[in-house]
Amino acid sequence: MGWQDLLKEKEPKTIIAPWVGGREIRVGQRLWRITWTPDEHGWYRWSNDGKTCQPQCAVEADFNVFPHSGEWAMRGYLAGDRLVHDNITVALDPANIIEASERVFLLEPMDRFTRVRAGRMHEHGELIFMGLEFPLGPEAEVQRAFEDGATSLPYGLKGVTPSLDAAFRMEVYQRQEAQRRREELVRIREAERAEREREQRRRELVERLGDAEGRRAMARAGDFQEAARAALAVGGAVYLDHRHAVRRGEMAVRFRFLNRRFECTCDAETLTIIDSGICLTAHDRRQGFAAGTKGDTWFTLESLPSVIKEADDGGKLVVYRHVD
């Protein structure tokens, strides 16, 4: 039997150590590879063969297993699950506190602004919760200020360390962010509700596009394109595009009819033609060019294609807006 065999006999068959992720357990300079990992972070008893270990069962925390706890231990205040350690010398803005703090694993439920101690199982290891520290005095007043909705600590409050002030700022920041998200959620829900109502209204109007009143209701509701498309279709024309005209409340509409492109200007709500883009002077307006557009006025987007066809059939069509 060699000296290696004697050392192996002295190797403990089980160890107690925390696990917070990874494929190994380290305690000081000792390291064991994990054959399979537990389902969640916690303290475990591990079976050990000298090189590898595997979890046997969950156990209560045993802070006595921390090596060099004085060297690798830190004290400070919690802000969420992060330790704002006592080494902070100035109070930081909330955005920088995360960079100046460190996550603590395996925390127990506790109140805000609790002073704690955390340690490492090995150099550069993760911080593991080790227990509570005695408060320094102002913690209760800081808690009251937070509960009263204060965004900064009262001036002249004695005994507040930079780490406690930083923890307070972090908690206030988190509360403000939660309120901002809450308000944003309300805004999103209201916008979604309004959009659903608009869409429902639009579907109702689309169902009514077969009559003049429905088309004008659609235009007033803000969907001029669908209203114009349906109106031109009454006269057999095909909607192409529209834009705001020079004058307020007017729309310039382009459409295809008789294998040509035309452009006219109409009222944005009533669809009444303002500038037809063609010459109508020679036509007898008493004849009524809106034949087949029952319920419509005779000079609208619905009737304009009929006017154009009547003029074209008579050889009297004069186009002033050339858009071909």
Residues 219 and 272 in one domain: yes
Question: Looking at 65, 89, 106, which one is the last position of a domain?
Answer: 65
Task: Tell me the whole-structure pTM to 2 decimals.
Answer: 0.55
201 domain-assigned: no
207 domain-assigned: no
144 domain-assigned: yes
Which residues contact residue 286 at a Cβ distance below 8 angstroms, ignoring those fewer than 6 apart?
none
pLDDT in tens, 55-67: 889 898 888 888 7
116 domain-assigned: yes
131 and 104 Cβ atoms separated by less than 8 Å? no
138 domain-assigned: yes
Residues 53 and 124 in one domain: no
Q: What's the domain count of the chain?
A: 3
204 domain-assigned: no
Question: Looking at 127, 150, 176, which one is the last position of a domain?
Answer: 176
Q: Can you tell me the distance from the alpha carbon of 138 to that of 305, in angstroms, rounded to the nearest whole number?
A: 83
Q: Can you tell me the distance from the alpha carbon of 246 to that of 262, in angstroms, rounded to the nearest whole number?
A: 18
- pLDDT value at position 294? 33
- pLDDT value at position 257? 93
| More confidently predicted of 308 and 89 | 308
- Residue range 306-322: average pLDDT? 85
Residues 156 and 253 in one domain: no
Domain that holds residue 165: 69-176
Which residues contact residue 199 at a Cβ distance below 8 angstroms, ignoring those fewer than 6 apart?
none
pLDDT in tens, 212-229: 788 888 888 888 998 999
190 domain-assigned: no
Q: What value does the mean pLDDT of the chain take? A: 82
Residues 138 and 232 in one domain: no
Bridge-partner residues for 260, per DSSP?
A: 257
